[in-house]
């Protein structure tokens, strides 16, 4: 036999309800207190329950349960409430850390992929418009497409920077399309 709140939480989690239906109280002795606690928690919000904001009426229901099982510890209900909140907060902290690690990995992969895609597009653009590449910078275009697929991101960024530096005098003087293309790439 579990305490009434534990039964209710288990039933709610098992059914995966975010906003649980009206409770099905197994033990009718707790009906009034449980209804009061349930309504109070609805007012506070179930999302807030998961943040550690629990109704004080849950303690009253737990106290009734402890009286029934003849628990002699006068601080048992307070200990129960502290441990419940502590467990909820630790669970949320663990879930948040896991979420942050996942997002960090996704952002890292996304950043690398974006950079690689931008550099490959620049290479394709210049390959399609060879007249825009001055002869002193033509050696940058002597790469095979597999270079952009297999090379590390650092190597690709050095290639791009070298290309940009070699194009700077040309861009500043006469090639408006490359200047616009590189400016567009930097803003994306």
Q: Are 120 and 148 in contact (CB under 8 A)?
A: yes
Task: Give the mean model confidence (pLDDT) for residues 118-141.
Answer: 85
Question: Do 114 and 177 share a domain, yes or no?
Answer: yes
Task: Please state whether 16 falls in left (phi above 0), alpha (psi between -120 and 50) or beta.
Answer: left
Question: Do 115 and 182 share a domain, yes or no?
Answer: yes
**Which residues fall within 8 angstroms of residue 64, CB to CB, at 6 or more apart?**
29, 30, 33
Portion of the chain with pLDDT greater than 70, in percent: 74
Better-scored residue on pLDDT, 69 or 170: 69
Instruction: Examine residue 96 and state whether it is found in any structural domain, yes or no.
Output: no
Identify the band that residue 177 occupies on the pLDDT scale cut at 50, 70 and 90.
Answer: low
Question: Do 177 and 116 share a domain, yes or no?
Answer: yes
Secondary structure of residue 118 in the 3-state scheme: helix
Final residue in a domain of this structure, among 72, 93, 121: 72
């Amino acid at each position: 036999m579990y305490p009434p709140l534990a039964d209710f939480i288990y039933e709610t989690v098992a059914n995966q309800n975010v906003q649980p239906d009206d409770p099905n109280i197994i033990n009718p002795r707790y009906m009034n207190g449980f209804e009061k606690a349930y309504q109070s928690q609805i007012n506070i919000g179930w999302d807030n329950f998961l943040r550690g904001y629990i109704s004080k009426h849950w303690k009253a229901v737990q106290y009734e349960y402890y009286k029934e099982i003849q628990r002699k510890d006068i601080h048992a209900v307070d200990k129960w409430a502290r441990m419940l909140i502590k467990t909820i907060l630790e669970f949320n902290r663990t879930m948040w850390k896991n979420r942050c690690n996942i997002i960090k990995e996704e952002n890292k992969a996304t950043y690398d992929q974006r950079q690689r895609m931008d550099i490959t597009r620049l290479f394709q653009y210049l390959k399609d418009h060879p007249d825009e590449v001055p002869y002193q910078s033509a050696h940058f275009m002597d790469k095979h497409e597999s270079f952009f697929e297999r090379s590390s991101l650092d190597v690709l960024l050095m290639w791009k920077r070298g290309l940009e530096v070699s194009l700077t005098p040309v861009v500043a003087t006469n090639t408006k399309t490359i200047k616009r293309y590189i400016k567009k790439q930097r803003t994306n």
